[in-house]
Amino acid sequence: MRWSNYYLMTAREAPRDAEVVSHRLMARAGLVRRLAAGIYTMQPAGWRTMRKLMAIVRREMERAGAVELSMPAIQPAELWEESGRWFKYGAELLRMEDRHGRRFCFGPTHEEVITDLVRRDVKSYRQMPLNLFQIQTKFRDEIRPRFGLMRGREFIMKDAYSFDADEEGLDRSYQAMYGAYSRIFEACGLEYSVVEADQGAIGGSSSHEFMVLADTGESAVASCAACGYGANVERAEIGALPQPEAAGAEGDGPRRVSTPGATTVAEVAGMLEVDRALVVKTLIYETDDGLAAVAIRGDREVNEVKLLNVLGGLGLRLASAEQVAAATGGPLGFSGPVGLSPEVRLVVDESARQLAGFVCGANAGDEHLVSVHWDRDVASARPLEWVDVMTAEASDPCPRCSGGELRISRGIEVGHIFKLGTAYSESMNCTFTDEAGRLRPAEMGCYGLGIGRTAAAAIEQGHDDGGIVWPVPLSPFTVVLSLLDPGDDAVRSAADGLYEELEAKLAPGGFDVLYDDRRERPGVKFKDADLVGFPVRVVVGGRSLRAGGAEVSNRQDGEREVVPLDGVSDVVLRRLLPGVF
Ligand code: ATP
Ligand code: MG
């Protein structure tokens, strides 16, 4: 491709709303252009990267036995009512009506449509296993679209859905996708890790996320270097924490003490001169089923994703001061588990179980209780629900091995695989006849991979001050050939000849060349080549010809050499495929 004919315009400035480096560089390199919040045009060079990524995804999905199809973006409301998600999905679902008043949505995902398809075609266990995938545009009306393609509203996803006759089959389908995803991110040249993920409301039996590690990632990941445990912080478990010493024997409590103005754990612990871990903090939440109180060790934070899984329903939020007063009889900041109204559901984090003689709010203004014991003072009034709702923190003990410590890092979730089980097949009646002639719901899995988000993640991982440093497989073009003296006929004809030869020699390996034959100054060409991030650059100019040919260099490390013109394509191939040439 000749740059003079191509549509690739770079810019010096990034848009003002571009907060992360991938967004800034994608905009400056002329890869994407914002049309509206979270909605982008893929300009030709950006689309080329997506096409290369989609080719890798297709290849590995097909190798794993998945079959491509294409489903509509617009989906009828009835299907979503059948699965129960028309009401559950919330404001992220873009709903619309046609001219006849029929209700539709723009698909944020395709479980309903695929289940409807398969239930009509598949009648017998003999027709399974099946895995169907598509690469298609989704719409999710995200509250905070940001970071360019990383969290768009309209975005391209590869989504796949597996159907099996039994759980063992689902295990095999899931493992096949686990392997395919690993090969995809490997083939893209990305550094990634696989972690256990929250299963959310659907509550399938297994779920993993593929994370590209990067400081700008929106996800926090807990991992143990000693044993390899890794989980999204939304669900990460924690090993046994060291316990604070018990304060006082069971005989002497509980006692009411005055704690004027002390509403935070730090203030209470300071005033009463106790370890923060010995203060039990009680938070009141509003849930779909009324108010709930969660008690946790004072030195730790509640994980609201875990809490929602425990409490059920669609959402939760901290109760207002009025709600707290109505439920506990005391002001905000002085709540505690003792004497709490039985109408408030109480759950207690496991971390607080070993505490003896602890401190907690007295459900009265400016007062706390000391020397409190769970069995004597709380459980005697109501059965206790022990739960895990604690947020993992750096240096926490690993839940899987002894001696290991958790590390917290940030990651970009590029892929998500999920065992759905029979949630959709039951609600939507996707059944088949098994070997014994019984009617059973299919065991389903679903597998998503963000195309734009993966491309953005590659840039978060590969860039420097000059611009993008693409991994070879994802660069819009593998090689940029820069013609430095376009007015000099001899130079131009040497570069034209080299361009033809490079195209011919590189194409069989799947590599491509952008020939920068524009009438621009050398400085502009060098800056643009660095900004767009082509892995290999070949420069032909009067000076390079006098030095013996063309100059070949790598974007990654800048390593350069002058090569006779007839040896350039071999040298380029050697750089692209070290070990082969
Ligand atoms: P997130 O927690 O980041 O919102 P999700 O759990 O909603 O992601 P899934 O429903 O599992 O995401 O979608 C599968 C994949 O689609 C994700 O792993 C991600 O790569 C991509 N994806 C999801 N939402 C977006 C978005 N708003 N913009 C770009 N890609 C997205
Ligand atoms: Mg989401």
User: What distance in angstroms lies between residue 562's CA and the mean position of ligand 1's atoms?
Assistant: 46
Shortest-distance atom of ligand 1 to CA 450: 20
Ligand 1 atom with least separation from CA of 418: 11
Mutation test residue for ligand 1: of 54, 57, 144, 157, the one with most atoms within 8 Å of CB: 157
Record the tokens describing residue 2, joined without a space.
């000749």
Distance in Å, CA 150 to ligand 2 centroid: 11
Our CA angle for 555, 558, 561, nearest 5°, is 115
* 220: β partners: 410
Give pTM, 2 decimals: 0.93
Contact 453, 158 (CB under 8 A): no
Residue nearest to atom 23 of ligand 1 (CA): 450
Q: How far apart are alpha carbons 195 and 236 in whole angstroms?
A: 9
Question: Which amino acid does the sequence have at 155?
Answer: F
Say if residues 469 and 31 touch (Cβ distance below 8 Å): no
Question: Can you read off the two tokens belonging to residue 454?
Answer: 């993966």
Instruction: Give the closest ligand to the alpha carbon of residue 219.
Output: 1
- The pLDDT value given to residue 245: 84
| Closest Cα to atom 26 of ligand 1 | 151
Q: Which pLDDT value is given to residue 260? A: 95
Q: In 3D, which of 6, 7, 57, 4 has the Cα closest to residue 32? A: 7
In ligand 1, the atom with minimum distance to the C-alpha of 454 is 20
Would you give the distance in Å from CA 88 to the centre of its chain?
21
Local structure of residue 241 (DSSP, 8 states): P
Report how far ligand 2's centroid is from the alpha carbon of 421 (Å).
20
Residue 219's H or E segment, with its range, is strand 219-224
Ligand nearest to the CA of 155: 1
Residue 139 CA to ligand 2 centre (angstroms) = 11
Q: Which of 92, 159, 453 to mutate to test the pocket of ligand 1 (most atoms within 8 A of CB)?
A: 453
CA dihedral 494, 499, 505, 509 (to 10 degrees): 150
Q: How far is the CA of 140 from the centre of ligand 1 (A)?
A: 9
Ligand nearest to the CA of 151: 1
Closest residue by Cα to atom 21, ligand 1, is 450
Relative to the alpha carbon of 418, which ligand is closest? 1
Residues with C-beta less than 6 Å from any ligand 1 atom: 109, 140, 142, 151-152, 155, 157, 413-416, 448-450, 452-453
**Position 230, amino acid:** G
Instruction: Write the residue with the smallest CA distance to atom 25 of ligand 1.
Output: 151
Q: Which ligand is nearest to the CA of 142?
A: 1
What three-state secondary structure class fits 455? helix
Q: Mind listing the pLDDT tens digit of every residue in the chain (581 residues)?
A: 999 999 999 999 999 999 999 999 999 999 999 999 999 999 999 999 999 999 999 999 999 999 999 999 999 999 999 999 999 999 999 999 999 999 999 999 999 999 999 999 999 999 999 999 999 999 999 999 999 999 999 999 999 999 999 999 999 999 999 999 999 999 999 999 999 998 876 556 789 999 999 988 999 999 999 999 999 999 999 999 999 887 766 567 799 999 999 999 999 999 999 999 999 999 999 999 999 999 999 999 999 999 999 999 889 999 999 999 999 999 999 999 999 998 999 999 999 999 999 999 999 999 999 999 999 999 888 899 999 999 999 999 999 999 999 999 999 999 999 999 999 999 999 999 999 999 999 999 999 999 999 999 999 999 999 999 999 999 999 999 999 999 999 999 999 999 999 999 999 999 999 999 999 999 999 999 999 999 999 999 999 999 999 999 999 999 999 999 999 999 999 999 886 66
Cα 166 to ligand 2 centre (Å): 29
Structure tokens at 520: 């621009």
How many CA atoms lie less than 13 Å away from 576 in the CB half-sphere? 31
Question: Going by C-beta distance under 8 Å and a sequence separation of 6 or more, which residues neighbour residue 279?
Answer: 265, 268, 269, 297, 298, 299, 358, 359, 360
Nearest residue to 514 via CA among 552, 551, 478: 478
Starting at the earlier edge strand, list the strands of the sheet with 94-97: 74-76, 103-106, 94-97
| Ligand 1 atom 2, closest CA | 413
CA atoms within 13 A on the CB side of 500: 5
What is the number of the ligand 1 atom nearest to the C-alpha of 209? 18
User: Hey, what's the torsion of the CAs at 85, 89, 91, 97, to 10 degrees?
Assistant: -20
Mutate to test the pocket of ligand 1, among 202, 416, 446 (most ligand atoms within 8 A of CB): 416
Q: Which ligand is nearest to the CA of 200?
A: 1
Closest residue CA from atom 27 of ligand 1: 151
Picking from 202, 233, 353, the residue whose alpha carbon sits closest to that of residue 305 is 233
- Protein residue with least CA distance to atom 18, ligand 1: 415
The protein residue whose alpha carbon is closest to atom 1 in ligand 1 is: 413
DSSP state of 153: S
In one-letter notation, the amino acid at residue 208 is H
Burial profile 329-368: b = 16 or more Cβ within 10 angstroms, e = fewer: bbbbbbbbbbbbeeebbbbbbbbbeebbbbbbbbbbbbbb
Residues 514, 6 contacting (CB under 8 angstroms): yes
Evaluate whether 532 touches 468 at the Cβ level (below 8 Å).
Answer: yes
| Closest ligand 1 atom to 448 CA | 14
Nearest-atom index, ligand 1, CA of 414: 20
Residues in the chain: 581
In ligand 1, which atom is closest to the CA atom of 108? Answer: 10
DSSP three-state, residue 25: helix
Ligand 1, closest atom to CA 210? 18
Q: What atom in ligand 1 is closest to the CA of residue 413?
A: 18
